[in-house]
Amino acid sequence: MGKAEIGLIGLGVMGSNLALNIAENGHKIAVFNRTTARVGTFFESAGALQPRIVPCTTLAELAEAIRPPRPIIIMVPAGKPVDEQIAMLRDVLSPGDIVIDGGNANFHDTVRRFSELGNSGLTFIGMGVSGGEEGARHGPSIMVGATPEAYARVEPILTAISAKFEGEPCVALLGPDGAGHFVKTIHNGIEYADMQMIAEIYGVMRDGLGMSPDEMAGVFAEWNKGRLNSYLIEIAATVLAAQDRQTGRPIVEVIIDRAGQKGTGKWSAIEAQTLGVSATAIEAAVSARILSSLKDERLAAEQAYGSGGLPKFEGRRDVVLRDLELALFAGKIAAYAQGFAVMAAASKEYHWNLPLPTIAKIWRAGCIIRSQFLGTLAEAFEAGGELANLLMAPAFIEMMKETHPSLRRIVARTAEAGLPMPALSSALSYFDLYRQGRGTSNLIQAQRDFFGAHGFERNDGKGAFHGPWTQSG
């Protein structure tokens, strides 16, 4: 075998698994890691794949080992480490070589790097990878932002290593520069909303219905056979059924209720706001993680306000569970409608021409939010015509009509019982605002005009007007 087809820097969780995946799919790969001892450990662990792996202990060695033009994947933490790594790579690369950032970059950084590297004759690819450790090893969903020429050089490798949904590879060139990382960011934003809504439903089962983790695991496993079928519902069942090795108790009961975050949820919310798109379920999910981190404050607040005194969450368990299933489905529709609306707006703003049906398709396997639902969503976008919002797709109108009464009942009942529903209640409010032909912003406009002479439009004539409270009114 001659030179390596591709290189990879950063043999952490994602990098090492991607490298093994690439080797397993028949492509020779050269690898490097900042802490060079890790290169040796990785090589030893590669077993039968060793002949397709070239371990390198310097960047010069890495460059030498790859066939030009050299594609090199950087799989290190987003931000400064990526810039540092690129700066070091510049010394060993030649014009035409392709630097690929496979981490969770902020797309603004990707756009900057794309133009900076372009100026020095190198090519840059921003590549979002989803699916965690398992996906990286056996088939992730890959979202690429690149020039068609650069993509052509790596397409055979990315196609081979990607997840497959009924034979279709879950990888696509989505647009230039930051398009891939933007889509990955919104993927994660939707993932935040999906996970928060599942956690809210878990809260109702635990605190409203008094169900045990084992019972809840059974319900999620059952739901996974129906319209909610998805990786996140599947693993909800799995983790709820798991026991702690140390205590023998259900593991969820020993885990502290403080959720971590690395930034992609927050970036989704920021980009939605910047683009002027309402993404309330995603924003609520990010806020809920922030509040979750305030464990001590929450404990003190529970002391101050007490946790009792509110009406109990009552009702026949099977009836409530049916409502919970449909409520979660309705919330999911609203959250995905928001995420796709953000991508549609970004596509216009940055002239990316994002292929929304393709995005839904490459999320059907390999990634964390993979689900049956995404197939229906792809069909809705493929049906053609300018779809203002997923909520206006005929199939989704039908599904929302069927499920929103359950969401409404659950949000109302949990509000009375004091069970928090930040994402699901935001999803409901979004839906109610979206479908309200006559809203209440006329009052806001009147007030804005009153205190700031901002003017308003009338429903009986064109132009800008002022109210009777101003001199010009």
Q: Which residues are catalytic?
A: 184, 191
Is 92 a residue that touches ligand NDP (CB under 6 A)? no
Is 77 a residue that touches ligand NDP (CB under 6 A)? yes
> Which segment (11-19, 161-169, 315-323, 338-346) binds ligand NDP by CB under 6 A?
11-19
How far is 51 from 363, CA to CA, in rounded Å?
32
Binding site for NADP(+), by residue number, is 10-15, 33-35, 76-78, 104
> Which segment (32-40, 62-70, 117-125, 425-433) binds ligand NDP by CB under 6 A?
32-40
How far is 369 from 374, CA to CA, in rounded Å?
9
Is 76 a residue that touches ligand NDP (CB under 6 A)? yes
Q: x/- site string to ligand NDP, residues 216 to 255, per CB under 6 A?
A: ----------------------------------------
- Is the bond into 69 cis (omega within 30 degrees of 0)? yes
Shortest distance, position 84 Cβ to ligand NDP, whole Å: 5
Is 75 a residue that touches ligand NDP (CB under 6 A)? yes
Binding site, by residue number, is 10-15, 33-35, 76-78, 104, 130-132, 187-188, 192, 262, 289, 448, 454
Residue 45 or residue 441: which is nearer to ligand NDP going by CB?
45
User: Which phi and psi (to 5°) does residue 458 adopt?
Assistant: -105, 155
Shortest distance, position 218 Cβ to ligand NDP, whole Å: 28
Is 84 a residue that touches ligand NDP (CB under 6 A)? yes
Of residues 253 through 272, those in contact with ligand NDP by CB under 6 A are 262
**Residue 334 contacts residue 404 (beta carbons within 8 Å):** no
Is 15 a residue that touches ligand NDP (CB under 6 A)? yes
Reduced to 3 states (helix: H, G, I; strand: E, B; else coil), residue 464 is strand
**Residue 111 contacts residue 178 (beta carbons within 8 Å):** yes
Q: At residue 63, what is the residue type?
A: A
Is 78 a residue that touches ligand NDP (CB under 6 A)? yes
Shortest distance, position 13 Cβ to ligand NDP, whole Å: 4
Place of tokens 């002022």: 466
Binder among 34, 90, 298, 448 for ligand NDP (CB under 6 A)? 34
Residue 63 or residue 410: which is nearer to ligand NDP going by CB?
63
Long-range contacts of 376-379 (CB under 8 A, 24+ apart): 377/336, 377/340
* DSSP symbol at 392: G
Neighbours of 351 (CB within 10 A): 8
How many residues lie near ligand NDP (CB under 6 A)?
24
Shortest distance, position 128 Cβ to ligand NDP, whole Å: 8
Is 69 a residue that touches ligand NDP (CB under 6 A)? no
How far is 428 from 93, CA to CA, in rounded Å?
52
Is 33 a residue that touches ligand NDP (CB under 6 A)? yes
10, burial (CB in 10 Å: exposed 0-12, middle 13-18, buried 19+)? buried
**Residue 416 contacts residue 310 (beta carbons within 8 Å):** yes
Is 129 a residue that touches ligand NDP (CB under 6 A)? yes
> Which segment (81-89, 91-99, 343-351, 385-393) binds ligand NDP by CB under 6 A?
81-89
Is 12 a residue that touches ligand NDP (CB under 6 A)? yes
How far is 415 from 68, CA to CA, in rounded Å?
61
Assign 3-class secondary structure to 34-82.
Answer: CCCHHHHHHHHHCHHHHHHEEECCCHHHHHHHECCCCEEEECCCCCHHH
Shortest distance, position 82 Cβ to ligand NDP, whole Å: 8
> Which segment (22-30, 33-41, 228-236, 334-342) binds ligand NDP by CB under 6 A?
33-41
Radius of gyration, CA atoms only, the chain:
25
Binder among 1, 2, 35, 248 for ligand NDP (CB under 6 A)? 35
User: Which phi and psi (to 5°) does residue 254 adopt?
Assistant: -105, -5
Shortest distance, position 185 Cβ to ligand NDP, whole Å: 11
> Which segment (42-50, 72-80, 237-245, 446-454) binds ligand NDP by CB under 6 A?
72-80
Shortest distance, position 367 Cβ to ligand NDP, whole Å: 9
Q: Which residues of 135-145 are buried (b: 16+ CB within 10 A; e: fewer)?
A: bbbebbbbbbb
Binder among 38, 206, 266, 413 for ligand NDP (CB under 6 A)? 38
> Which segment (70-78, 274-282, 408-416, 452-460) binds ligand NDP by CB under 6 A?
70-78
**DSSP one-letter string for 222-262:** HHTTTTT-BHHHHHHHHHHHPBPTTT-SBGGGTS-S-----
**Residue 85 contacts residue 27 (beta carbons within 8 Å):** no
Residue 185 or residue 426: which is nearer to ligand NDP going by CB?
185
**If residue 181 lies in a helix (H) or strand (E), which one and from where to where?**
helix 179-203
Residue whose beta carbon is closest to ligand NDP: 12
**Residue 266 contacts residue 274 (beta carbons within 8 Å):** no
Contact residues for ligand NDP, defined by CB under 6 A: 10-15, 33-35, 38, 75-78, 81, 84-85, 103-104, 129-130, 132-133, 262
